Structure 1
Amino acid sequence: MSRLRTNKPGYFGKGSVETAPAAAEGEGPTRRCTLSVDKLVTQPFEGVDTVYDIILYAARTHGTRNALGWRDILSIVEEEKEVKKLVDGVEVTEVKKWKYFQLSDYKYINFVEVKEAVSEIARGLIELGVTTHDVFNVYAQTSPNWQLMAHACASMSTTIATAYDTLGEAGLTHSLNEPECIGLFTNTELLPTLRNVLAHTPTVKYIIYDGEAKPALLDNIRTIREDIKVYSVDEIRQLGKTKPMEPLEARRPTKDTMACIMYTSGSTGNPKGVSITHANLVASVGAVYTLLGHHLTYEDSYLAYLPLAHVLEYIVEMIMLFVGMPSGYGRVKTLTDASVRNCKGDIRAFRPSIMVGVPAVWETIRKGIISNVNGGGIVKKTVFNGAFVAKKANVPGLAQLADSVVFSSVRAATGGRLRVALSGGAAVSRETQEFLSVALVTLLQGYGMTESCGMCAILPPELMRYDSVGVPVPSIEIKFLDVPDAGYFSSNHPPQGEVCIRGPSVTKGYYKRPDLNEDETIFTKDGWLRTGDVGQWNPDGTLSLIDRLKNLIKLQTGEYIALERLESTYKSCNLVNNICVHASSDAKQPLAIIIPHEQHLRQTLQQNGNKWIADSEADLDVLCKNHKVQELILRECNAMGKKGGFKAMELLQAVILTPDEWTPESGLVTAAQKIQRARIAKKFDYQIKHVYKHQ
């Protein structure tokens, strides 16, 4: 499978070209992908105008081929493990219980069955009384039922609002109240959280769930308010089966119908709801089909596990439905063999050929491979490193040998069929992209935002290079605005500036936020959306992202540093699990708050030259407070920075180590795993002030 060749050399020509000169001083010319020079893409084919048309097209074209796959939980296996930790300086042993899933093989429904299920649910919702003026929330884990509920609403012109399944009670309350949701779909596991907010969400009348719910919990929910009705998704389907088609046919959407209010993950304040129409989504599907359609074949399969409340996963799964590629659903907790019992993990069970992930996923995979190699002894490590060098340099004969003998075992861990992977959501470090492209799979980058239906630019395999997010997707055009304070000008060589986007897949505004929609620092009068990202045009017509305006910090020296760019590189250090780079205007250099990668840190401390630093068996909290460990991690991070060409002012002056994971529940990362910079700075305020006091 990994040998399937779908590249079209020369297909993209110059990548992107200028289609209009600069309209005013302080900005650059407009550029488009070479595939959409004369006209931006608005749809994949004539007659596909709405999301519902995609379901009709898929059923008509792909028929009884497998569409959506899932695994049932057969049992939960509990295991006890002894864990040593220090309490008041005394080592104690605790017994902890760990839960593992035993899962079935993959089961599937085909494209015709998807269409039938969507129709049944839609007719059931109409029978309940859900109207075209209502908003229906989807607060659930990524699964086939998430898709079926969303498409049912789309088919009957009812707007959905999305909510991450990791949302706390405050976030869930906001996502139900702002759009005045009449109901929602959720999972059994999330019903307790929902129960706690229902008293504060007065418009919610209908709750639809999947899974096996305890009758006592359902009864408890029904007693919160008299008008609350609770149904399983199977009950709604049975109800809909018996109802006529005519009321549903009268409710079909148009391209201008609001399909979705997709809430951003909210790194500052309450999340904003992005208003997305059917036309926006269809244009995005058409753009990707135009750009990458020749790479998406019937022989491929896609592993779906990212949150569907995130626009990247939402639009990718819609594209897979359109092209007829089977999507197999997995869970983050069961992706690998290590997290299941008596069965394979989702990746090896499904054996995908295409995967999409955020940088944290690819960092985890890279560090997992390295940890496995380091744990295999000096011979295995030497052979792997030699094979890596040979393949990277494309040494004749040796490169092919390295690929078939050494890296085949790495590929086997992901099912052995993986041939294309895409990273999106944030910048992935060059170190990680290069490592995985050599050892595992060609890792491409993309760039998008909720406001653009997830797609602004994608790097096609034909234009593979590092440090680039690709060419503008064919439904979007891009221009730069100058950023004089930071020295970014469209007249620079290469051209640089704030990225502005315009086109049929770009939203016209935020839900119930006229203050933002009328703000010309976001939406300009001539129809451009200012992204806040700083880009650079490369000679091959591709786009690179080099900064983020809100994360540009002016140091004591008067020079600017870009925090996100620094984090992307420092995060590729094997000793780093997560990182927040911090700087203030009175600082000479940045510092970093770091959660160490525990396994790699312990392996490093066990090496002969490092045994004097600290006891590798010590509690992680103790290691984090050890000054020699802090110096070790600082040294390794700065080595990565120097390797990445950082200037002296971009190197770290200190690190603050913490053993505690950052979670959406703690408020230190968003539901999409983006760091909450201000909250992290507040939590570690004392340590930060101590560092700067002694700089």
Structure 2
Amino acid sequence: MPEYNIPIPFPANPDYSRQAVEVPGTRKPGQTGHYRSTAYPFMTLESPGTLTTCWEIFEEGLHRSKGGPLFGRRPLVSTSPLKFADHYEWDSWHRIDERRRAIGSALCNLFRKGVLGGGQLETVGIWSKNSPEWQLVDTALHAYAKVGVALYDTLGKDSVEHSINHAETTVVFATSDHAQFLLQLGPSVPKLKIVVIMDDIPIESKNILVAWGKDKGIQVLGLLDLEAIGAADLVEPVRPGPGQLATICYTSGTTGNPKGALLTHGNLANAVNAQLTGYVPDGDVCAISYLPLAHIYERVMALCNIAMGGRIGYSTGDPLRLLEDMQILKPTFVAAVPRVLNRVYQAAMANASAPGLKGMLFRRATEVKLQQLHATGQRTHALYDRLVFSKVAAVFGGRVQLMSCGSAPISAAAMDFLRMGMGCDLLEGYGMTENGGTCTHVWPNDPSSAGTVGPPCANTEIKLIDVPSMSYFAEDKPFPRGEICFRGDHSFQGYYKDEKNTKSTIDADGWIHTGDVGLIDERGRLKIIDRVKNIMKLAQGEYVALENIENVYSSCPLVAQVFVYGDSLQSYILAVVVPDPVLLSQLLSKLGKNVSSDNVAGLQESLSDPKVNVAILSELTKTAQENKLKGFEMVKRIHLTMEPFTVENGCLTPTFKIKRKETYEKFKKELDALYALPLSVSSRL
């Protein structure tokens, strides 16, 4: 028997009609009771057989692995043209254990001698795409009680500088291209003392970086150099406790600088324990790592595989090679996001319109399997899987037993098709940095789960609280609605050096207020329906602050009023624009149309001209570029109207703020039509 009770199997005879229930006596005015899962006892750090630290996670995996492979990659064959081998090469568990001890020992000694440190915490930065080295360094930090700070530049280089300074990071592990940028920063990151180059580079290039670093007062080392220093003076692992801080995970903020979420070893271990409930792998445990390790979702999924003694193969980092990576690796577990799954779904559904026998067979197979899925939850079919759907499963390597989906919504139709097409468990869930990516997920074989994110995980209790300003109430019928709050031992400790945001997020009773609005359906499953702060996530996972974007576009002289709208199943945003009559009249004159500014009917008629729409969108884009909006924050299509937003037509509050839900309903037909149009390649940029 293993020391730790993982994985925990799904109950043999679950009651799908009652997946979560309110804890008796917890209902209060303005909120629902506390919902917990009915499938498992509530899981805490004190529950028998649970993991409590990331140190325990690695040690348990090491014990289970029996020395087998752990981290692997496709070797690089050539750089011009770029080519990778058609196989993975692996480092064993024992080799990674040796290397993490060497890296951890070196860091311990450098902090002890005062070469590193000096801030509130002993922080260590990692800036790299996913790789065995990224995970290796992270395991070393876990074993030696150092605080990992994952850096990433998807939000712009300024966020990297902010994170280093905010966390008072004195050493950063980085790939050579990022190391160059760090050295360029120089005086802008005055506490940075050492940069460790994680990738293999020619000795001449390394010497240049070393010399450049000396000039900047920053020591540059290779990863193997650091390991040699540590191996020469080994230190026993610290074996941190559950309350020891494990990471500052900077969240992708929508305005201003990212916030640093504080997560302890106990937080991460509790999340891992909860994720390892409901599924027992059959044989090999092999995952592919391609989602950014700087984000909590991928990091917790990796820890789950490590806890099971499995192996992780890292993608090449090229999105166009991702499916090729999977077909070579043949993983049994895939952490997925909608943008990847939608590509597969769209490609597969193209077969539905194929002529002749091929298209007829695909349509019939899809019809039969969907009926079976909705009736019983059964995903496999002896005949049609062999004739039709084996090709869908082969896209991911053909061995996937479990796939998780998170980070953004996916349509119910796509989810249903992929479940029956893949023939494996595909569990959609809901989580965020502040709970270790772990809050809810759907039950296996639930025939009607599409469109929901399932009941609470074993370690989570959730409740909904009233949002009067948006007319969401816990007493709503047929289902309670309100802001989603959660609580559990995976709940983060707060935001680093940010008391204001911490207090506004964590209340006196330890509930985390998510800002998301949900409803609890008749089976106890959560469905996400809105966002309290009008911050929404696009299909690719990027957050956009709608009111902030409206403020930017409102600065365009041509705009009298603007309503920005986004659908989380789409990758771009839209707007309803009410032009200023005088400036619109002037624009029309330039386009050869003479319409006076007081001729409202004539102005309205002119707005149906595609050339006018293009000209106004062009002016909006100039304003967006001048205000340095990111590409995904820029409106890609607009609906034009001369009817203003008013209190009388329900679009404005008495204080003249846009009522988002009502305004969307008013223009739903037009906005839905814009999303239905094909999007040109240039419009996606």
Q: Per the shorter chain, which TM-score range?
A: 0.7 to 0.9
- Secondary structure class of the residue paired with 2:246: strand
Q: What residue in structure 1 maps to residue 131 of structure 2?
A: 143
Q: Is the 8 A contact 2:351 2:359 kept in 1?
A: no
Which among 260, 274, 278 is matched to residue 265 of structure 2? 278
Q: What residue in structure 2 maps to residue 540 of structure 1?
A: 523
Pick closer, same or farther for the CA change 1:19–1:647 going to 2, 3 Å: same
Q: What residue in structure 2 maps to residue 428 of structure 1?
A: 410
For 1:349, give the aligned amino acid.
I
CA–CA distance in structure 2, aligned partners of residues 456 and 305 of structure 1: 22
Q: TM (normalized to structure 1)?
A: 0.73
The reply to whether residue 660 of structure 1 matches residue 643 of structure 2 is: no
- 1:29-85 CA-to-partner distances (Å, cap 9, x unmatched) read 011112455x4322686484321121122212322132222111111353xxxxxxx
Question: Per-residue deviation at 1:479?
Answer: 0.7
The reply to whether residue 67 of structure 1 matches residue 50 of structure 2 is: no
Q: Is the 8 A contact 2:101 2:234 kept in 1?
A: no
Question: Per-residue deviation at 1:27?
Answer: 0.8
Which among 209, 219, 223 is matched to residue 229 of structure 1? 219
CA–CA distance in structure 1, aligned partners of residues 170 and 325 of structure 2: 35
Which among 36, 41, 44 is matched to residue 44 of structure 2? 41
For 2:307, give the aligned amino acid.
F
CA–CA distance in structure 2, aligned partners of residues 486 and 583 of structure 1: 21
Matches within 5 A, 1:451-600: 451-464=434-447, 465-492=449-476, 493-519=478-504, 522-551=505-534, 566-568=567-569, 571=570, 578-582=571-575
Matches within 5 A, 1:91-130: 100-129=82-111, 130=116
Question: Per-residue deviation at 1:288?
Answer: 1.7
Deviates more, 1:447-456 or 1:470-479: 470-479
Q: Is the 8 A contact 1:77 1:102 kept in 2?
A: no
The reply to whether residue 201 of structure 1 matches residue 189 of structure 2 is: yes
CA–CA distance in structure 1, aligned partners of residues 229 and 247 of structure 2: 25
Deviates more, 1:13-22 or 1:198-207: 13-22
For 1:237, give the aligned amino acid.
E
Question: Per-residue deviation at 1:651?
Answer: 3.0
Q: Is the 8 A contact 2:60 2:308 kept in 1?
A: no
Q: What residue in structure 2 maps to residue 303 of structure 1?
A: 288
Q: What residue in structure 2 maps to residue 157 of structure 1?
A: 145
Question: Per-residue deviation at 1:402?
Answer: 2.0
Q: What residue in structure 2 maps to residue 321 of structure 1?
A: 306
Q: What residue in structure 2 maps to residue 618 of structure 1?
A: none
- Secondary structure class of the residue paired with 1:533: strand
Q: Is the 8 A contact 2:473 2:480 kept in 1?
A: yes
Question: Per-residue deviation at 1:502?
Answer: 1.0
- 1:306-363 CA-to-partner distances (Å, cap 9, x unmatched) read 100111000010011001222211134166488xxxxxx2111011122112211211
CA–CA distance in structure 2, aligned partners of residues 484 and 427 of structure 1: 25
Question: Per-residue deviation at 1:297?
Answer: 4.2
Q: What residue in structure 2 maps to residue 94 of structure 1?
A: none
List gaps (5 residues or longer) in structure 1.
Answer: 1-5, 79-99, 339-344, 556-560, 572-577, 588-620, 626-632, 636-645, 664-695
Pick closer, same or farther for the CA change 1:61–1:439 going to 2, 3 Å: closer
Q: What residue in structure 1 maps to residue 333 of structure 2?
A: 354
Q: Is the 8 A contact 1:391 1:403 kept in 2?
A: no
Q: What residue in structure 1 maps to residue 20 of structure 2?
A: 16
CA–CA distance in structure 1, aligned partners of residues 320 and 302 of structure 2: 18
For 1:489, give the aligned amino acid.
F
Q: Is the 8 A contact 2:460 2:487 kept in 1?
A: yes
Pick closer, same or farther for the CA change 1:64–1:266 going to 2, 3 Å: same
- Secondary structure class of the residue paired with 1:141: coil
CA–CA distance in structure 1, aligned partners of residues 420 and 101 of structure 2: 45
- Secondary structure class of the residue paired with 2:409: coil
Pick closer, same or farther for the CA change 1:337–1:430 going to 2, 3 Å: closer
Question: Per-residue deviation at 1:527?
Answer: 1.4
- Secondary structure class of the residue paired with 1:461: coil
List gaps (5 residues or longer) in structure 2.
Answer: 1-8, 536-545, 551-562, 581-613, 619-636, 640-663
The aligned length equals 557
Question: Per-residue deviation at 1:422?
Answer: 1.3
Deviates more, 1:162-171 or 1:68-77: 162-171
Matches within 5 A, 1:607-626: none
Q: Is the 8 A contact 1:135 1:181 kept in 2?
A: yes
CA–CA distance in structure 2, aligned partners of residues 515 and 76 of structure 1: 49
Question: Per-residue deviation at 1:257?
Answer: 1.1
CA–CA distance in structure 1, aligned partners of residues 208 and 286 of structure 2: 41
The reply to whether residue 57 of structure 1 matches residue 60 of structure 2 is: yes
Q: Is the 8 A contact 1:336 1:348 kept in 2?
A: no
Question: Per-residue deviation at 1:217?
Answer: 6.0
CA–CA distance in structure 1, aligned partners of residues 94 and 169 of structure 2: 30
Q: What residue in structure 2 maps to residue 260 of structure 1?
A: 247
- Secondary structure class of the residue paired with 2:509: coil
For 2:429, give the aligned amino acid.
G
For 1:150, give the aligned amino acid.
D
What do you get for the CA RMSD once the two structures are aligned? 3.5
For 1:260, give the aligned amino acid.
T
Q: What residue in structure 1 maps to residue 611 of structure 2?
A: none
Q: Is the 8 A contact 1:105 1:349 kept in 2?
A: yes
Pick closer, same or farther for the CA change 1:353–1:582 going to 2, 3 Å: farther
Q: What residue in structure 2 maps to residue 386 of structure 1?
A: 364
Pick closer, same or farther for the CA change 1:348–1:216 going to 2, 3 Å: closer
Question: Per-residue deviation at 1:271?
Answer: 1.0
The reply to whether residue 184 of structure 1 matches residue 172 of structure 2 is: yes
- Secondary structure class of the residue paired with 1:393: helix
CA–CA distance in structure 1, aligned partners of residues 363 and 665 of structure 2: 29
Question: Per-residue deviation at 1:483?
Answer: 1.8
The reply to whether residue 363 of structure 1 matches residue 342 of structure 2 is: yes
Q: TM (normalized to structure 2)?
A: 0.74
CA–CA distance in structure 1, aligned partners of residues 286 and 156 of structure 2: 33
For 2:366, give the aligned amino acid.
F
CA–CA distance in structure 2, aligned partners of residues 332 and 367 of structure 1: 23
% identical equivalent positions: 26
CA–CA distance in structure 1, aligned partners of residues 472 and 409 of structure 2: 19
Q: Is the 8 A contact 2:453 2:527 kept in 1?
A: yes
Deviates more, 1:380-389 or 1:412-421: 380-389
Pick closer, same or farther for the CA change 1:218–1:163 going to 2, 3 Å: farther
CA–CA distance in structure 1, aligned partners of residues 306 and 666 of structure 2: 49
Q: Is the 8 A contact 1:281 1:453 kept in 2?
A: yes
CA–CA distance in structure 1, aligned partners of residues 356 and 393 of structure 2: 21
- Secondary structure class of the residue paired with 2:426: strand
Pick closer, same or farther for the CA change 1:372–1:164 going to 2, 3 Å: farther
- 1:563-613 CA-to-partner distances (Å, cap 9, x unmatched) read 55x442xx3xxxxxx3224458999xxxxxxxxxxxxxxxxxxxxxxxxxx
CA–CA distance in structure 2, aligned partners of residues 198 and 407 of structure 1: 55
Q: Is the 8 A contact 2:129 2:317 kept in 1?
A: no
Pick closer, same or farther for the CA change 1:239–1:368 going to 2, 3 Å: farther
Question: Per-residue deviation at 1:379?
Answer: 4.9
Q: Is the 8 A contact 2:50 2:273 kept in 1?
A: no
Deviates more, 1:28-37 or 1:525-534: 28-37
For 2:28, give the aligned amino acid.
A
For 1:659, give the aligned amino acid.
V
CA–CA distance in structure 2, aligned partners of residues 307 and 452 of structure 1: 17
CA–CA distance in structure 1, aligned partners of residues 186 and 193 of structure 2: 10
For 1:121, give the aligned amino acid.
I
Pick closer, same or farther for the CA change 1:377–1:194 going to 2, 3 Å: farther
- 1:441-497 CA-to-partner distances (Å, cap 9, x unmatched) read 443211000000110111131435211111211222111101223332211221211
